[in-house]
A and B are shown apart, each in its own frame.
Chain A
Amino acid sequence: MSRVHDVGGQTGFGPVSPDLDDNQPFHADWEARVFALNTALRRRGVFNLDEMRDAIERIPPEQYLAASYYERWLLAVEMLLREKGLLADG
């Protein structure tokens, strides 16, 4: 079954905007922290890269499409931590 992330060949997303890139790896400090958290949690073996990808792909489609790149990472990390009992709700 194809999930929302499987966009290869889909139409309707408009042209690519190469000029929008400003060569900055992160556009806010929180993006850098999410990146580092993800790396640290993977190194600790809390989850692996495949689980992380799977979690991103399980984000509900409307949320996935509306979220920025690192928002998706954050949603996926939170999802995995909840599922593994490391992050109680609230």
Chain B
Amino acid sequence: MSEDHASTAIAARVRRLEERLVDAGVVSDAELDTILNRFLAKASPLNGARIVARAWVDEGFRERLLDDANSAIKELGLSLGGDHAELRLRVVANTQTLHNVIVCTLCSCYPLQLLGPSPSWYKSLAYRSRVVRVPRDVLAEFGLHLPDDVEIAVWDSSAESRYMVLPMRPPGTEDKSEDELAGLVTREGLIGTAAV
């Protein structure tokens, strides 16, 4: 990680803040390390991909997922986490006539546990401001050109509610195993800025 001059000044400021909080007994260095390691190890788009693959091969699971996602993902040992109550998850399914895409216009809310750390552009002012106004144009900037007769639904996340897209199963994948299917799913597909 290279750091320019401005970044070095901020790094020093963060170190001072951390030292003061450690000295005051509010947090410990070990605790911070543990938080980071757990986050980086557990939060991954592979979790979202597993959910999608299961929904593609198991119609009953798909129905439960669309009906009550928080309960359904427990079947795969997954959870959304949260401070006190678990964050609410809603999974929205793409069809031949409807494409879904998620955003957080107010900040950066995102199902971290299922999609991993969010991409830089998800947090950018450009994405947050424009995807709700000109979603078709924004998706085209990602290389996703949807036919005019496909409606686009944009889901604006909040502090309590998170969304994930269930992409359509690609044609010609009938012979693939659940694991192989999970391997086809990308983070962008789970956000809705890619088809799968």
- Which A positions have Cβ atoms within 8 angstroms of B? 5-18, 20-23, 25-30, 32-37, 39-44, 46, 48-50, 53, 56-57, 65, 69, 71, 74, 77-78, 81, 86-87
- Residues in A whose Cβ lies below 8 Å from that of B11: 28-30
Name 7 interchain pairs, CB-CB below 8 A, sorted by A. A9-B105, A15-B141, A16-B121, A16-B126, A18-B119, A21-B119, A87-B20
A8 touches which of B1, B105, B138 (Cβ 8 Å): B105
A8 touches B128 (CB 8 A): yes
Q: How far is the CB of A83 from chain B (nearest CB, A)?
A: 15
Q: Which residue of A lies closest to B2 (CB)?
A: A28
Q: Are A5 and B141 in contact (CB under 8 A)?
A: no
A30-B13, A50-B159 known; 17 new pairs, CB 8 Å cut-off, are A7-B106, A8-B128, A15-B141, A21-B119, A23-B119, A25-B116, A28-B1, A28-B11, A30-B10, A33-B14, A35-B36, A37-B21, A41-B26, A42-B83, A69-B108, A74-B13, A74-B17
Q: Which residues of B contact A22 (CB under 8 A)?
A: 120
Range for the number of chain B residues in contact with chain A: 35 or more
List the A side residues contacting B107 at CB < 8 Å.
5, 53, 56-57
Is the CB of B70 closer than 8 A to any CB of chain A? no
User: How far is B144's CA from A26's CA once the two chains are assembled, in angstroms?
Assistant: 27
Tell me the complex Cα distance, A56–B67, Å: 33
Q: Give the docked Cα–Cα distance between A14 and B96 (Å).
A: 30
